[in-house]
Amino acid sequence: MSPASKAAAGEAAPPNFGDLLAAAGRLTGVARRTPLLEDPFLNEQAGRRVLVKAECLQKTGSFKFRGAWNRLSALQGEARIRGVVAFSSGNHAQGVAYAAHLQEMPAVIVMPKDAPAAKIGATRRYGAEVVLYDRLTEDRAAIARRFAEERGMTLVPPFEDPFIIAGQGTVGLEIAEQAHEAGATQAEVLVNASGGGLASGIALALAERAPGLTVRTVEPAGFDDWARSLEAGAIRTNHAVGGSIQDALMSPSPGLLPFAIGRRAFGPGLAVGDEEALRAMAVAFARLKIVLEPGGAASLAAALFRREALQGEAVVVVASGGNVDPALFARALASGA
């Protein structure tokens, strides 16, 4: 069984800080060091400093490229020839597809039929074979495993893999440096969470490099599995499988590896509604000149509209993705900044 398959089966150990440093080495000169942005209007509206880590400016439009590149870079020999298979609603799909393209590896991506057309189209343009499924009636992981078995491909899950988590954790290494430069040594770091690969990777980095920064997950209202799991001390599952425009954040439950990290490292989880995410998208465009998708704007929405749930004079917001269909972005802009 491959390391990725073991991770998906819950047999792999979470990464450590050394794994994050190794990932940073693999990503040097490949991934972008995204900026940490600040705007006086946002600070005034939020009642504290708001530092926005613009991962929407990362290659493929989200942080997912980091983990994908780190995972694929670690493959050797026959595994590289046979290629990879992944499942995703869009951002992991694009990250894996582009990383595979750059490394000249075949890629099959299993995506829901109702994923944003922009994400499906971009994944195909990166050269991947896209297989669509019905998220209400079909099991995406089972479909991906079938391709892995039939073609001998390596399964690259979106968060249940130590290489993926370590790659996403490089965001945290950058936040630690940039927040220190900005004079924010005590802050809560709001991270959009689906399976939790990004949040857990960031937490590992901050524990070593910026212990005054604490990760808090942000999810769509009605899909707050992380918030409920952290409160219960055990993994909880969402009953709904669709119904939010924050499509990037609708994993049914926290990942095993991310939860092993997060249950000790995260603060209480937060949740925001779709309309709040849309308003945050409009604010981000008006004040920071960046484009966010609904799931990428959830953390900013929490900073703006969950002020009473936050502590301290500063908050770091991870704007995790900007892959949004034009019609939905126009709807966000119409909601007003």
In the chain, what are the domains?
Answer: 3-62+162-334 (3.40.50.1100), 65-155 (3.40.50.1100)
pLDDT at 118: 86
Beta carbons of 221 and 271 less than 8 angstroms apart: yes
Two tokens at 60?
A: 């493929």
Of 268, 288, 314, the residue nearest 55 (C-alpha): 288
Cβ burial of 335 (10 Å; 0-12, 13-18, 19+) is: middle
Q: Can you say how many angstroms the Cα of residue 259 is from the centroid of all Cα atoms in its chain?
A: 14
Mean of per-residue pLDDT scores for the chain = 94
pLDDT for residue 55 is more than 80: yes
Task: Tell me the CA end-to-end span of the chain in Å, nearest whole number.
Answer: 50
Read off the amino acid at residue 82: R
DSSP tag of 205 = H
Q: What is the 3-state secondary structure (H, E, C) of 47-63?
A: CCEEEEEEHHHCHHHEC
Residues in the chain: 337
Dihedral pair phi/psi, residue 102, rounded to 5°? -65, -30
Cα(217)–Cα(24) distance, rounded to whole angstroms?
23
pLDDT at 89: 80
- At 28-46, the pLDDT tens digits run 999 999 999 999 999 999 9
> What pLDDT score was predicted for residue 122?
92
Q: What's phi and psi for 187, nearest 5 deg?
A: -165, 160
* pLDDT per residue as tens digits for the range 95-145: 999 999 999 999 999 999 988 888 899 999 999 999 999 988 999 999 999
Give the CA angle between residues 142, 137, 113 to the nearest 5°. 85
**Cβ neighbours around 76 below 10 Å, total:** 7
pLDDT in tens, 193-252: 999 999 999 999 999 999 999 999 999 999 999 999 999 999 999 988 788 999 999 889
Once rounded to an integer, what is the mean pLDDT over residues 47-75?
98
pLDDT at site 60:
96
